[in-house]
Structure 1
Amino acid sequence: MAKKPSKVIITCAVTGSVHTPSMSDHLPLTPDQIVQNAVDAAKAGAAILHLHARNPEDGSPTADPAIFDLIVPRIREQTDAVINITTGGSTRMTLEERLAYPLKLKPEMCSLNMGSMNFSIHPAARRIEHWKYQWEKPYIEVMEDLIFRNTFRDIKHILSVLGDECGTRFEFECYDVGHLYNLAHFMDEGLIKPPFFIQSIFGILGGLGPDPENLAIMRSTADRLFGRENYRFSVLGAGRHQMSLLTMGAIMGGNVRVGLEDSLYLSRGELARNCAEQVQKISRILGELSLDIATPQDAREMLGLKGMASVTY
């Protein structure tokens, strides 16, 4: 008898640090907007909420714990979704800045980029004629000459101070096949233990391209390195590749991530008005595939999380 498919975890990445206000009027910028988008996404079926913060004055990315404190406790009051705080922040932030709020909150889950890399959307600057804020255009253009830093020592430090000392588990963000091997290195060193939550990312300039064949390569490589029983696979398709790659990933037994951090659109030429619209769309697709959607409690059990009672909001 065939094994019943696992429930599918939907992660929603609400705002991120890559897109800028001029790219969409619907991008959540203020604490109120981020909270509302997060809560509505959870109501629509997102079990995990991946969170960044922004300066409410101009929408620029920030790691300020005071801003996070205007967001996270309010989300916690309105939903039992797993709250996942970025440790990536942005390419402009130091490691200390990126870890400031995670170390204060000690959340159930944090994201963790599995290597240093070129990470850029600088060609997007050529498509924007009118900018709302002065910081936006240089912020995008300078990405051509910036590197996102996460060295082996940086990753080891994050695993120690957040994982070992705080009981936080990780959304391991893997932008290329080499990042899976980095993850395997830390497993071999005994610094991480299954179940791993691997977020495979496609379509970012500097990372693995959005070809469907690459999804199969990431899945098969993870199987060889970890054994399918030891990890949960998830798929992030950037921009216009979001829904097609997520659908393919779900068919292959994976989980999915949506949200305005990853794509500003709902369909070709149609901007998403909020994150919940994307959650609703992928939920419909999963339903058509006869796949069940994981609740927040399902996700906690599947990923071995410590539970929200262990987090002081």
Structure 2
Amino acid sequence: MNWDVFITCAVTGAGDTTGKSDKVPVTPKQIADSALEAAKAGAAVVHIHVRDPRTGKGTRDVELYAEVVDRIRSSNTDVVLNLTAGMGGDMVLGGDEKVLPLDEIGTDMVGATERLEHVTRLLPEICTLDCGTMNFSSGGDYIMVNTPSVLRAMAKQVQKLGVRAELEVFDMGHLVMVKDLIAEGLLDDPIMIQLCMGIAYGAPD
């Protein structure tokens, strides 16, 4: 086991972080500048989500990712880029009694290829794979949906791109999915697992 320690900085985080603090960067320039500041302070990896500059809410807009990545790369700063691929799997039910149709405002569900569009175009060193489905309280009453078939499709595409998958494990059962992906040859060594603990309805601290 490798016991070397390195620091990853999630510059904006997911969910409604902008609603909790006005210090969270929102525009591509702010996000890139914050990532570079983190690198200069000692972070080896910066984990990037982008946000709609008008609303501050998370978005999958590829052009916003492209601007952030270009700003970081053009600075010639020695830092590893880790782009989230977790968005596009958010499902909000229509209500407690009438669950369908789904809530259109909170639901953002797309297929494996579209979830990886920014990764395919920008080829970061790392991107995330959320390794299971769970109730997710951060930012609202929604279900984080990552079915085994979608995860297999995403893992296969990430492997083909030569991007390293960071496996996000929010609960112990998600490790079963990780083991399956390894057994099926869809992940290359060394395996990178992040234990995302302390999130409500997932693994406790």
TM superposition score normalised by structure 1: 0.56
Query: Which residue in 1 is equivalent to 2:123?
Result: 106
Does the alignment pair 1:155 with 2:172? Answer: no
Q: 3-state SS of the aligned residue for 1:177?
A: coil
The answer to whether the 8 Å contact 1:38/1:49 transfers is yes
Change (3 A) 1:70 1:193: closer
Give the superposed CA RMSD: 1.7
User: Hey, which of these two has a bigger chunk of helix by percent?
Assistant: 1
How many angstroms apart in 1 are the aligned matches of 2:131 and 2:67?
29
The answer to whether the 8 Å contact 1:106/1:162 transfers is no
Give the alignment partner of residue 178 of structure 1, picking from 169, 173, 177.
Answer: 173
Q: 3-state SS of the aligned residue for 2:53?
A: coil
What amino acid is the match of 2:86?
G
Greater RCO, CA 8 A, separation 6+: 1
CA offsets 1:278-311 (integer angstroms, 9 cap, x no match): xxxxxxxxxxxxxxxxxxxxxxxxxxxxxxxxxx
Query: Which residue in 2 is equivalent to 1:80?
Result: 78
Structure 1: tracts of 5 or more residues without a match: 122-139, 211-313
How many angstroms apart in 2 are the aligned matches of 1:66 and 1:114?
26
Size of the aligned set, in residue pairs, is 185
How many angstroms apart in 1 are the aligned matches of 2:135 and 2:19?
23
Map 1:1-313 to 2 at 5 A: 6-78=3-75, 79-89=77-87, 91=90, 92-93=107-108, 94-95=110-111, 96-121=113-138, 140=139, 143-144=140-141, 146-163=142-159, 165-210=160-205
What amino acid is the match of 1:84?
N
Question: How far has the Cα of 1:59 moved from its partner?
Answer: 0.6
What amino acid is the match of 1:195?
P
How many angstroms apart in 2 are the aligned matches of 1:97 and 1:59?
22
How many angstroms apart in 2 are the aligned matches of 1:205 and 1:43?
32
What amino acid is the match of 2:83?
I
CA offsets 1:263-287 (integer angstroms, 9 cap, x no match): xxxxxxxxxxxxxxxxxxxxxxxxx
CA offsets 1:205-226 (integer angstroms, 9 cap, x no match): 121011xxxxxxxxxxxxxxxx
TM superposition score normalised by structure 2: 0.84
